Amino acid sequence: MNVLVVGATGATGRLLVSQLLNRGCHVKAVVRSAERLPGTVRAHAHLTLIEADILALPETELTGLVKDCNAVASCLATSTGKAFSANRAVW
């Protein structure tokens, strides 16, 4: 199974990525800073890291990220108090 995880460096995202990798899934993780993931996770053969601000990516890049994925999981934090639109991020 191929899974895209956004917000992969937060508490929930790190746990999800680790569990998916432990189950043999191939994971694409969108992170703002790869250094926030443990080294053992970063070095995993089934992990593809994409360093980017998911909210700033154009739709064409977002489309490319989800291509060939069986699932998408959003673990984006909401603790900033900023507004979020379901259609598109609005900050």
Q: Residue 47: name the closest of 24, 69, 29, 23 by CA.
A: 29
Q: Tell me the pLDDT tens digit for each residue of 31-73.
A: 999 999 999 999 999 999 999 998 899 999 999 999 999 999 9
Q: Residue 20: name the closest of 62, 64, 73 by CA.
A: 73
Q: Using DSSP, state whether 74 is helix, strand or coil.
A: strand
Q: What is the pTM of this model?
A: 0.82
At 77, is the pLDDT very low, low, confident or very high (cuts 50, 70, 90)? confident
Q: Tell me the pLDDT tens digit for each residue of 2-29.
A: 999 999 999 999 999 999 999 999 999 9
User: Strand locations in the chain, DSSP E?
Assistant: 2-6, 26-31, 47-51, 71-74
Query: Distances in Å between the alpha carbon of 37 and those of 34, 40, 63?
Result: 6, 8, 24
Residue 83: pLDDT over 90:
no
